[in-house]
Amino acid sequence: MDFFIANAYAQAGGQESNPMSLIIMLLVFGLIFYFMIFRPQSKRMKEHKNLISSLSKGDEVLMQGGFIGKIEKIDAESDMMVIYLTDTVAITVQKSAVTTVLPKGSMKAL
């Protein structure tokens, strides 16, 4: 009955792994993590911080919620600003909610 199944014999001495290969593999994964995840995210955060610091009265902005408005007043102490959505509707939002600064006159074009 043994002619259908080949006999399997355990290998007496297993292969010894090189500890340097484990260290090299961890370094490669660390580099992949840095260049694929950490570096692009920190670059985006830096660009957004520069955008927030360059905001001024009269800029037309697009908010994270999809609102488009014109900045009327910026309060530097509390990190808040007043945005007019229309001539009569004003809202107060955090500066960090700004996604992009739109070109002048884009609200009139809509």
In tens, the pLDDT along 5-31 reads 666 665 655 566 778 888 999 999 999
Q: Looking at domain 56-109, does it have CATH number 2.30.30?
A: yes
Answer whether residue 1 shows pLDDT above 60.
no
Phi and psi, residue 64, nearest 5°: -65, -30
The residue to which tokens 């993590």 are assigned: 33
In tens, the pLDDT along 61-83 reads 999 989 999 999 998 788 899 99
What's the pLDDT at 20? Answer: 86
What's the pLDDT at 81? Answer: 94
The answer, as to whether pTM is greater than 0.75, is no
User: Which DSSP string corresponds to 23-70?
Assistant: HHHHHHHHHHHIIIIIHHHHHHHHHHHHHHHT--TT-EEEETTS-EEE
Each domain of the chain, given as residue ranges in start order, spans 18-54, 56-109
